[in-house]
Amino acid sequence: MDNSQWIICPVCGNKTRDRIKKDTVLKNYPLYCPKCKQETLIEAKNLHITVIKEPDALDAEPMNL
Ligand SMILES: [Zn+2]
């Protein structure tokens, strides 16, 4: 029994090439959609996908280690 499922692109609603399983946990995962060619940051837990909206400036170099 295969309990994995394809991740649906939150932008266009098409299937991506990524799959998650029931116990898959993703955090800050750059989901790439081959259909609309966009990358979306997502989180996934218990087959539930959450889109992360982050400010662009967040990728700037860190000030502390
Ligand atoms: Zn898409």
For residue 59, how far is its CA from the centre of ligand 1 (angstroms)?
A: 23
Q: How many domains in the chain?
A: 1
Q: Does some domain include residue 62?
A: no
**Ligand 1 mean position to 38 CA, how many Å?**
6
pLDDT at 17: 96
30 alpha carbon, distance to own chain's centre:
5
Within a domain: 24: yes
Residue 56 lies in a domain: no
C-alpha span between 4 and 60 (Å, rounded): 35
Query: Does residue 57 lie within any of the structural domains?
Result: no
Contact criterion met (CB below 8 Å) for 11 and 53: no
CA of 63 to the centre of ligand 1 (A): 34
Confidence of residue 65 (pLDDT cuts 50, 70, 90): low
Name residue 50's amino acid: T
What's the gap in Å between 62 CA and the centre of ligand 1?
A: 30
Q: What is the pLDDT of residue 52?
A: 94
pTM value > 0.85: no
The tens digit of pLDDT for each residue in 10-51 reads 999 999 999 999 999 999 999 999 999 999 999 999 999 999
For residue 11, the CA-to-ligand 1 centroid distance in Å is 5
